[in-house]
Amino acid sequence: MVKPKVFVTRAIPQAGLVRLQDVCELTVWPDELPPPYETLRAQAAQADGLLCLLTDRIDAALIADCTRLKVISQMAVGYDNIDIAAATARGLPVGNTPGVLTETTADLAFTLLLAAARRISEGERYVRAGKWQTWIPTLLMGQDIHGATLAIIGMGRIGMAVAQRASGFNMRVIYVNPRPVEAAAARGWQRRTLEQALAEADFVSLHTPLNAATRYLINAAALARMKPTCVLVNTARGAVVDPAALYEALKDGRIAAAALDVTEPEPLPAAHPLLTLDNCLIVPHIASSSVATRNRMATMAADNLAAGLRGERLPYCANPAVYSA
């Protein structure tokens, strides 16, 4: 029997690849950097299945070219890099990996919150630079976490998991969400408008998807509403924050600090102004990167892909409308 052809746009964890290697003819892009767009398009045009990452642009033109494709499976929960409307219009199911990375991502969001509040990377740089001479009464004074108010912007699965961690640290939680969240109300976490939340919070943590409504949601006006002691954490998508406005706010001390797992652009060039600031902690989009979670994401993506190739409903489908058309 002829095996379906599958293009995998990067070496994903082996746990995922082993599920596919016997049932598909696999081509795995070998480089650390993503395939250039034209290469991706040419490879996908010859494939029955595409397993991709959030760094691959899967636009309407690519989808139109790939008449042979039966399924797109993305190893990520977010899928703002994929033209979902074009895929749905073509009846092409798109898989993603929701749920599995919730707790690991929340762990990193909270790690960033703690590290930025207590100026951990500044302290580490100080020690490594040989500057530690004595105990200084005013050295690296940061923000208290206990008793502070955390505003969660986007109270979905990850937002809820971060709020739960915050409760363990005796923080007060408020949230912003298009709709009230019953489970949040049950915990006494109150809903606010974005304007109210920004003004009230000591910490703001972003957990929205990236779409037209959330692009540059945290712009100069939003930053101006925050307290000068406020710490901003972004583990959502870089473009939820206007980077130029964030740079100005951090440089002028209009907010205390930011901690970013995601940036705009991504990756952030080494010469980017944000990297000149001591009060900006940046890590390279690693929120879901624990061994267990990345392995589980890879197996979920492989299972989605295999189901699509067999013509079955994807276990985790980002565009279920394909099945009702």
Q: Are strands 149-153 and 203-206 parallel, antiparallel or unpaired?
A: parallel
Whichever of 71 and 287 has its CB closer to ligand GLV, that residue is: 287
Whichever of 74 and 143 has its CB closer to ligand GLV, that residue is: 74
**Least distance to ligand GLV, CB of residue 53, Å:** 9
Strand partners, 7: 27, 50
**Least distance to ligand GLV, CB of residue 111, Å:** 15
Of the listed 237, 264, 294, 296, which one is catalytic?
237
Structure tokens at 241: 């924050």
Whichever of 96 and 143 has its CB closer to ligand GLV, that residue is: 96
CB under 8 Å to 281, separation ≥6 — which residues? 112, 115, 116, 120, 121, 257, 258, 259, 260
Residues 225/196, Cβ–Cβ less than 8 Å: no
Of the listed 10, 119, 285, 296, which one is catalytic?
285
- In the three-class reduction of DSSP (H, G, I as helix; E, B as strand; rest coil), residue 323 is classed as helix
**Least distance to ligand GLV, CB of residue 117, Å:** 23
Question: Residue 213 belongs to what H/E stretch?
Answer: none
**Least distance to ligand GLV, CB of residue 119, Å:** 26
Question: CA neighbours within 13 Å on the CB side: how many for 163?
Answer: 27
Question: Residue 211 belongs to what H/E stretch?
Answer: none
What order do you get walking across the sheet with 71-74 strand by strand?
Answer: 25-28, 5-8, 49-52, 71-74, 94-95
Structure tokens at 54: 């959030």
Active site annotation includes 207: no
Active site annotation includes 266: yes
Of the listed 25, 103, 248, 266, which one is catalytic?
266
Active site annotation includes 192: no
Whichever of 214 and 288 has its CB closer to ligand GLV, that residue is: 288
Residues 75/297, Cβ–Cβ less than 8 Å: yes
Whichever of 101 and 239 has its CB closer to ligand GLV, that residue is: 101
Residues 259/229, Cβ–Cβ less than 8 Å: no
**Least distance to ligand GLV, CB of residue 288, Å:** 5
What residue ranges bind ligand GLV (CB under 6 A)?
54, 76-78, 101, 288
Whichever of 77 and 201 has its CB closer to ligand GLV, that residue is: 77
**Least distance to ligand GLV, CB of residue 143, Å:** 26
CB under 8 Å to 95, separation ≥6 — which residues? 71, 72, 73, 74, 300, 301, 304, 305, 307, 308, 314, 315, 316, 317, 318
Map tokens 């795995």 to a residue: 28
- In the three-class reduction of DSSP (H, G, I as helix; E, B as strand; rest coil), residue 218 is classed as strand
**Least distance to ligand GLV, CB of residue 195, Å:** 27
**Would you please indicate which residues are annotated as catalytic (active-site) residues?**
237, 266, 285
